Amino acid sequence: MTEDWRDAADQLARTLRADAPHREQAAAEPEAEVALLRASGLLTLLLPASAGGRGAGWLAANETARTVAAADASVGHLLGYHYLQLWRTELFGRPDLVERLHRDTVAGNLFWAGVSNPLDAALELTPVEGGFRVEGRKSFATGASVADRLVVSATRVDSGQKLTFVVDAHAPGLSYLHDWDNLGQRLTASGGVVFRDVHVPDEDVLGVHDETSVRASLAALGFQLMLAQIYVGLAEGALTEAAEYTRTKTRAWTLSDVDEAVADPYILVGYGELVAQTRAAGALTDRAAAALGAAFDRGDALSEQERGEAAVTISAAKVVATRVANEAGSKIYEFTGARASANKYGLDRFWRNARTLTLHDPVAYKAREVGAHFLTGEPPRLSGYS
């Protein structure tokens, strides 16, 4: 089974890498990319074998998302968030609903996305007979317009309580704005969503979205971790593509006293430093994934201290991964040369994707969390981002 899913991830990455610059420049709705995810068999990777899934587990999902992100950061983002949405449904104490969602996902090979921007509380829930009516508009709903199912958070108008529920992405009353037009991550379909009189039955409500609950708050950490995975994937992808260009196209500089660019000592040092930094970021991010997996496995016995230790590890990984992703996307041009800036090579996508995605939430606050914990033992505050 291990080699099976790794082989599938590697094959998907090769397919995506072959035409990544062309697809990224076209910036079409990622329907073809989601079709590739379905065909890969990787959508059920995280789901237990008892539900018909591949049962490869949390660490496998993290590794797969990073492998795919190295080839195409947008698709790695979509896949990573798909895993997260399925994973977070288990944080609400609704095993009956979770089992149904797992079986439905396997049966339909479903792709999941979410509508739960923590800074955008514009969705309202009105109690009606048998459930709720949803109204409002949400922004930055990555993958929602190409998804089959959505995990959504909204606020009850009668009590102010925030609930999380699942809904068919094609339910009556749902529409998508297709207004994602940013510098990078062009194939993530991260536009807005409008809900007009969308019905959600009681049986599809996962539960209260409580950021003060130690276990439920793991969802925020999951998103921070997956972003770090994509950042590392971006750095790995930039190095892979730049190295191939350096080997096959870069000319030795006239003052280098060498015949090939791969013998230029400055190029060797430049790659060596970036490779070392990227591997360090990858190792720390893997450690963070293991820490969050262990915290999740503690269930309701998870303590605030254990949660805090996992959060700090994730914050540290995000600080390091942010830096290396942005640096790699820029530095590779110093090792490839002026001709590598031609649009046909598309190397600029690595920097644009990293620069866009690393703005998700200010990394300075992650560094502050690490520093505060180191000096005083203070754990990160429970929030939608930490």
What distance in Å separates the CA atoms of residue 235 and residue 363, rounded to the nearest whole number?
A: 17
Residue 200 included in any domain = yes
Task: Please state, in angstroms and as integers, the Cα–Cα distance from residue 234 to each residue in 30, 113, 174, 239, 357, following that order.
Answer: 19, 21, 33, 9, 10
Please tell me the predicted confidence (pLDDT) of residue 209. Answer: 84
How many domains are there within the chain?
3
> Are 128 and 228 in a shared domain?
no
Instruction: Decide if pLDDT at 246 tops 60.
Output: yes
Q: Do 279 and 348 share a domain, yes or no?
A: yes
Write down which residue in 185, 208, 231 finishes a domain.
208
pLDDT per residue over 130-147, tens digit each?
999 999 999 999 999 999
**Encoded amino acid at 255, one letter:** L
Q: Which residues contact 180 (CB under 8 A, 6 or more apart)?
A: 186, 188, 189, 190, 191
pLDDT digits (tens, 9 = 90+) for 294-351: 999 999 999 999 999 999 999 999 999 999 999 999 999 999 999 999 999 999 999 9
Residue 119 lies in a domain: yes
With respect to residue 386, please indicate whether it lies within any of the assigned structural domains.
no
CATH classification at residue 15: 1.10.540.10
Q: Is the separation of the CB atoms in 94 and 43 below 8 Å?
A: no
DSSP 190-248: ---EEEEEEEEEGGGEEEE--TTSTTTTHHHHHHHHHHHHHHHHHHHHHHHHHHHHHHH
The domain in which residue 163 lies consists of: 113-208
CB 9 within 8 A of CB 67: yes
Interval 253-271: pLDDT, tens: 999 999 999 999 999 999 9
- Supply the pLDDT for residue 1: 46
Task: Tell me which H or E stretch contains 368.
Answer: helix 363-376
Residue 287's contacts (CB-CB under 8 Å, 6 or more residues apart) are 313, 317
Average pLDDT over residues 189-204: 97
- Mean pLDDT across the chain: 96
Final residue before a domain boundary, out of 158, 188, 208: 208
On whether both 242 and 325 belong to a single domain, the answer is yes
pLDDT, mean of residues 165-193: 97
User: Would strands 149-156 and 131-138 be described as parallel, antiparallel, or unpaired?
Assistant: unpaired
CB 369 within 8 A of CB 312: yes
Other Cβ atoms less than 10 A from the Cβ of 317: the count is 29
Residues 222 and 371 in one domain: yes
Q: What is the pLDDT of residue 211?
A: 78
Q: State pLDDT tens for residues 4-13.
A: 999 999 999 9
Stated as kind and residue range, the H or E segment containing 152 is strand 149-156
**Mean pLDDT to the nearest integer, 207-211:** 87
Residue 383 forms part of a structural domain: no
Global pTM exceeds 0.95: yes
For the residues 177-198, what does the mean pLDDT come to? 97
pLDDT given at position 3: 63
Residues 271 and 188 in one domain: no
